[in-house]
Structure 1
């Protein structure tokens, strides 16, 4: 009779860690990265994508730490992979947060700050303009193959920052903090043309109200501001893709700098 297949506990541990640790990093990124973490994407699809990527990438990884999975060291490595994947996804999400910040600034100037609804992506109320610009940013991200570049960066992250039981360096987290400053500055740069135009329009209507008191600024000011804001948004749309493409590249570069900074 042929001998039965026997698997030792050490072999089982090697197989489990060879799949589980890369899977956790990939699932953490997919759960936080833009496009993949949208509310319209089912959780089962995210898990299936993470499993598929793990099956492709795991055989290419080098030797993993000889640490039992069910131990303090194995739990520490698991937590590290969650932190690394989440930080990578958060770095790219900052670009989309910049776009949403620009939408908030624009909506405030147009008088649409009260026209808000629940956004499942951010988990809070956002203005109509912020949601609209975020949808355009997602479409541009997909059109420029940003999602494929993000997956490639994820696969390369195992070479830049291999799975190890050594503690992560603190300098990488400072890179993430500095990248967060781009949310306000980039959002202001994107919304600046429209803010300047509406500010000039409001100044002109204020002068007209002083010159001609019969001109009721309160009755006609809101519709004029709203129509002017919509017209400026139409003029702004063709320049949105050239503005965002370098920001997407900067987001990927921020991920690379984050991984380099986290290396022990």
Structure 2
């Protein structure tokens, strides 16, 4: 076989694998953070693409006829990477949503701060609970499972595979539902504790109406919220692990390869 067609096949396979990895790193947890330099992400994507490209050469590598066909292939690979990364990001953001729920109910959500990584205003509790989720994600080797699942996806979804839009929408909706379930399960203990604190303050206000319970209530609610979150870290990580494993099984039904 002439050298030029072989080189063209290798180059097309490398570009498509690199684009899929780049799409995943655009949306996946940790990799998509703005405080991670773009050069690091590009280097990691190139390194992984160099390792994965030989795996794709054993299967049929598409030969696009024209720029439009090639752009379509690139867009499809980028979409696959985005969907796999975004699905997991949606779930992990459920931890941030849990912190947001706790903040709004306890009244400490009024002290929003600017988060440069997401370029939005968030509450301290939201960032704290989200940090617990990210640490748990690393402790459970979530990043290895994510990369392993993406590596296996190159076997189950060879380059050039066309994604069914209905399946993509169904998958993202399922992950969104799992994210809300995770948020409620994580926030439930703190919400119950805050309800008890509110009832106690109501009884105290009836007994001692001269006390300024408005100021006292904010302090007690904040203290109770942080106290319960700290006391239930073990339960929180256990719940997060359950939802994370279920999410990884949905995103990577072919396994993680690790």
TM-score w.r.t. length of structure 1: 0.88
Question: What do the CA deviations read for 1:221-240 (whole angstroms, capped 9, x no partner)?
Answer: 11122222222122112222
1:155 alignment counterpart? 151
1:140 alignment counterpart? 136
Q: Structure 1 residue 11: deviation in Å?
A: 4.2
1:66 aligns with 2:48: no
Unaligned 5+ runs, structure 2: none
1:56 aligns with 2:51: yes
Root mean square deviation, CA, Å: 2.0
The structure 1 residue matched to 2:242, chosen from 240, 243, 246, is 246
Contact 1:97 1:183 in 2 (8 A): yes
TM-score w.r.t. length of structure 2: 0.90
Counterpart-to-counterpart distance in 2, 1:46 and 1:217: 51
2:118 alignment counterpart? 122
The structure 2 residue matched to 1:24, chosen from 15, 19, 33, is 19
Partner SS, residue 163 of structure 1: coil
Question: Closer, same or farther in 2 for the Cα pair 1:167/1:89, shift >3 Å?
Answer: closer
Contact 2:29 2:92 in 1 (8 A): yes
1:170 aligns with 2:160: no
Q: Structure 1 residue 128: deviation in Å?
A: 0.5
Question: What do the CA deviations read for 1:118-160 (whole angstroms, capped 9, x no partner)?
Answer: 2244332111111111112111111211101110000011122
- Between Structure 1 and Structure 2, whose CA radius of gyration is higher? 1
Question: Closer, same or farther in 2 for the Cα pair 1:20/1:111, shift >3 Å?
Answer: same
Question: Closer, same or farther in 2 for the Cα pair 1:51/1:32, shift >3 Å?
Answer: same
Partner SS, residue 122 of structure 2: strand
1:221 alignment counterpart? 217
Partner SS, residue 185 of structure 1: helix
Counterpart-to-counterpart distance in 2, 1:171 and 1:137: 27
Question: What do the CA deviations read for 1:184-224 (whole angstroms, capped 9, x no partner)?
Answer: 22201110110111111112111221233222211311112
Contact 1:27 1:85 in 2 (8 A): yes
Counterpart-to-counterpart distance in 1, 2:216 and 2:163: 62
Unaligned 5+ runs, structure 1: 1-5, 260-264
